[in-house]
Structure 1
């Protein structure tokens, strides 16, 4: 029956998306108005009853014009409420979901209507997991969280609207709604497997009444629990089993490699940047992104300056990759450099990791070495990652390169020392660069670094802490708090 539920829900979703937000009325306001407080209603159990509010003006009576099979609805014009009851069974005549149409009859004889999508589906309140990143793994679920809080802090903001800034696949979120400070949205199942969620990354934005962006949250929608793939190192650090924002952590096929890179971050920023469109960076382009209207959106690459190079500007412009310049000493912050945007002592408000996880210090990776570099170069060149071990635990780290601080372009190449300094003659593919929370100077921070040398595989190495300019975009591997 669960498979039937999933299939029927997706079919109705396809036909309902365009209709759910519609409110039809005559051009003359005197003929009446009718508006529901929300566009969709999800009930968790068969036979359950929920109530939805509505507002009406110029309406003398109200009725139900369309009702999905087996559903019941009782509108009350006096109280402005609609009482909806789900069917107690699902069969050929009783359906799991559909469109309910509420019709108001104006005093002048005209009709106005509003459409409510109703469905039996799981609901999950994520408020206890409040963070800058939410991990979503449960399909066919209506999620919600507090849209007035910044990260894990208690600081609130006047959120008046919530919109998708970007998403990696169109339609990842359905029925996006803000009510009483809480945002809710529905996430469906994979087309080919009802038991798995439809995967992708979403950046969701909170806006004030004037339309200014106040904050963003990363929704990491994946068909596995990243915490479930975690490993604990000998030093006691529990390392998440994949990169932040990744859909995989595997190295066998080119699709797996691309899925395993995850998202990229400038040091100290919580806003993620999309990864490459090709596993080997050959196209030099980013993965596609779309807004809430399914239109393509793109990152801008802006040189930092006195007006753009601030933490406030960065938070309000999450699509802007702020390029380092000589005047900023290649930090995305132009003048007021800060070591506290990410912290090694406590999780900061800008930390991009989910609840219970954080950006690691470089000490977390101390002692990691390449598990096996005894093979020929050809054994590694198309792998783009190493199994790293501390002798007690082993996990795969992808060689995901970086977005370069001067132009934001993807680069995945190890630039060895000149021959005169005992280095290789030729640049080598690939390198892994992972931000840590450690600030080394006021414009450089520590990256966990490893590289592959195809001319001398045995000389490939791991460096726990390497200084890099903060305007670089690098991957993040979260560790447990």
Structure 2
């Protein structure tokens, strides 16, 4: 009989404990929702609505990200021009998981994993937007309906369709800005300082640095735009496989997507420019995709933004060594991008570019 009583008491305690952990209060009887698991390893996670989210810090390959001791936000786009970070109310690292609480506001925020010495060992782009749709193009490629980081895919929403920009091969996004206010190194990142918020707890600043670094150093300094005069690269060890036809650990796309090869956007020869130079449309069947003219991104040798008028610049994951006597190149490493200059109607589906340029990205489905 004593054993039955002990078993009854033990079972009762477990039941009470379960109720305490899952209920906010006995008065409201409101059951607290568990954090939504964001799934497999990626460098970008989409947050479509308010609520709690979490993920295990994994590389795209599934390998654990090591030496994580804490996680915190480091920079965010502004919400309604507020100088307070309003996208996430909680960022933490608990029981081997990165935990987030989203407000439901739209925008972009970058969070970082720190080691025991306070060094940044990895970063993630948290993309607070409605879940992007996809569109199948005539060649079979399935593209996302917006640029990476854009909070809208609708033409009428203007600059909300522009997105963020990346140096080729880096996981870290940069904010390009909206206006031509940056003309030399001295005023580079004026727009980023105007439209983003840096976490005051950390000694971070938007800046240009004229030397190349290792991947580890670049990750540790996510707000620094690097450039080497000799190689025109941010990376001190030339690597044309940081992005590729197979998704890599450095691909900034969310799960289920990757950066396209130039061969996947050949259908964009059928882009139709808007008369106001705000962008171009691609139509297949009854579907239409909007490609905003968000400018050239950031200049490779200064970090200054390139807004321009009616310009579309988009990175591919295609890169190779090129020999071109007319351009003075011999086995020179280049990456390729899409360039469409609407004003002159010049379209380049495979334009060479220095890897320290920062351009936008249009993801394609895996």
Taking the aligned partners of 2:118 and 2:203, their CA distance within structure 1 comes to 20
| Cα RMSD for the two superposed structures | 2.6
Q: Which residue, 181, 204, 227 being the options, matches 1:283?
A: 181
- Structure 1 pair 180/445, CA: closer, same or farther in 2 (3 Å)? same
1:404 maps to which residue? 299
Q: After the TM superposition, which segments of 4 or more aligned residues of structure 1 sit over 6 Å from their partners?
A: 48-51
Q: Distance in 2 between matches of 1:371 and 1:433?
A: 14
Say whether the 8 Å CA contact 1:234–1:393 is kept in structure 2.
no
Name the CA shift for 1:393/1:465 in 2 (closer, same or farther; >3 Å).
farther
- Equivalent residue in structure 1 for 2:86, among 133, 154, 171: 171
Cα deviation digits, residues 157-203 of structure 1 (max 9, x gap): 02111111211240322232222211212112xxxxxxxx2111111
The answer on 1:225 being equivalent to 2:131 is: yes
Give the deviation of 1:122 after TM superposition.
5.3
Alpha-carbon spacing, 1:437–1:318, altered in 2? closer, same or farther (3 Å): same
- Partners of 1:447 and 1:220 in 2: CA distance: 23
Q: Which residue is equivalent to 2:334?
A: 444
Change (3 A) 1:389 1:444: farther
Query: Post-superposition shift, 1:392?
Result: 7.5
SS at match of 1:259: helix
Aligned residues: 326
Q: Is the 8 A contact 1:50 1:85 kept in 2?
A: no
Q: Which one has a bigger Cα radius of gyration?
A: 1
Q: Which residue of the partner structure matches residue 192 of structure 1?
A: none
CA–CA separation in structure 2 for the residues paired with 1:240 and 1:88: 45
CA deviations over 1:191-229 (Å, ceiling 9, x no partner): xxxxxx21111111111111111111111011x211x2x
Gaps of 5+ in 1: 1-47, 52-71, 74-82, 97-118, 189-196, 414-428, 454-458
1:434 aligned onto 2:314: yes
Q: Using the TM superposition, give the Cα deviation of residue 125 of structure 1 relative to its aligned residue in structure 2, in angstroms.
A: 1.3
Listed as ranges, the gaps of 5+ residues in structure 2 are 1-14, 79-84, 183-190, 322-331
Residue 108 of structure 2: aligned partner? 201
Q: What is the alpha-carbon distance in structure 2 between the residues aligned to residue 168 and residue 395 of structure 1?
A: 25
Pair 1:357 & 2:257 matched: yes
Choose which of 267, 277, 289 in structure 2 pairs with 1:395: 289
Question: Relative contact order (alpha carbons < 8 A, sep ≥ 6): 1 or 2 greater?
Answer: 2
* Structure 1 residue 387, shift from structure 2 partner: 0.8
Distance 2:131 2:319 in 1: 30
